[in-house]
Chains A and B, each alone.
Chain A
Amino acid sequence: MRIFPFKTNLWDRFFYGISIMFGLHLIWVRFLEQYVPLYVATVGSLIFLAILVITG
């Protein structure tokens, strides 16, 4: 099952993954950090990045 609805190569997926990771961290810091530590976002987004790079 693909995450993106369009064709991507490895570099694209890595780039989009990093961009999503950065955005997620910023949103986390702004709205969630006072309740849940930032490490949760880092671990979660790293897992997401791995899935994204593998499945596309």
Chain B
Amino acid sequence: MKENRKQVWGLIAPTLFLMIFIGVIPVIYVIYLSAFKYNVFAKIPFRYTGFNNFRKLVFDPDFLKSLRLGLTFVALCCGIELPLGLLIANLLTLNFKGKGIFRTIMTLPLAMAPISIGSIWVLITNPDFGPLPFLFRKIGIEYNMGINANQAFFTTVLVDIWHWTPFVVLTFMAGLTSLPNQPYEAALVDGANRWQTFRYVTIPLLKPVILTTLFIRVMDTFRVFDEVWMLTSGGPGTATRYVSIHLVRMVLQSMEYGYSSAMSLFLLYLTIIICFLLLTFISSSQEAT
């Protein structure tokens, strides 16, 4: 028994060591830093401030604005990606010509690095030679996201949808192919039409998959960085300065390490709360099915 226990500890030790080294220790260090005013260029670089960084955080209008923007971004992206993904996944269950090619092309954005996607969209949205401003000009809209805050915001939403809808489609397709046949046969016998079958059979059966996908997407969208940084760098003004971009700007430009640590802890806290709520929904829906 003792030998067995030693073997078990020996097997999990490398993973445990890695987890502690790259997960636990940095978090503890961030908690420690959040209690200090730490600016390398200040006269006294390291000064204990207790809860003051959090006190500053809840009254910081820039941070609160970036948080509001981030949450709007999450709501818009997830609110569009999920129904659109469900629609495309349902269409892909039908048989039509060119389905294989469509599926391959559709999944291409997933294979690209977010930073490359940002660069590609910088070219697409260039007001001088980009195809998107050209198309908008054709319908009488002047498109320049370098000066128009709303256009910049909606462009980042569009880029995220373009990039991540294929992921949603793939997970929904995996969910749809694993659904049992019997409920569909019963619905057919009861005379349900296509919409009723979708509404009362597919959606309830797919609920755990939908919630899990939502869970992943909410987490990912909340900490979006690369694409937006490449595309707008948070501008024009603060129009696309989402929380992670605001955080990086605080660290790199203001060098406020203590305050930034408090900010990242708050974001971690918010993510945990959102994930906890979603997980509770997921587990209760799995118990129900």
Contacts and interface: CB of A to CB of B under 8 A. Distances in A.
Q: Is the interface of B mostly helix, strand, loop or mixed?
A: helix
B16 interface: no
A6 B280 CA distance: 9
Contacts of B266: 26
B75 interface: no
Interface in B38-90: 51, 54-55, 57-59
Contact of A29 (B54, B273, B276, B280): B54
A19 B272 contact: yes
Contacts, number: 25
B272 A25 contact: no
Nearest to A22: B269
Q: Is the interface of A mostly helix, strand, loop or mixed?
A: helix
Which of under 10, 10 to 19, 20 to 34, or 35 or more describes the interface residues of B? 10 to 19
A38 B50 CA distance: 12
Interface in B232-283: 266, 269, 272-273, 276, 280, 283
Contacts of A23: 269, 273
Contacts of B57: 26
B31 to A, nearest CB: 11
A6 B287 CA distance: 12
Interface string A15-55: 01001001101100110010000100000000000000000
10 contacts: A6-B283, A6-B284, A16-B276, A19-B269, A19-B273, A26-B54, A26-B57, A29-B54, A29-B58, A30-B59
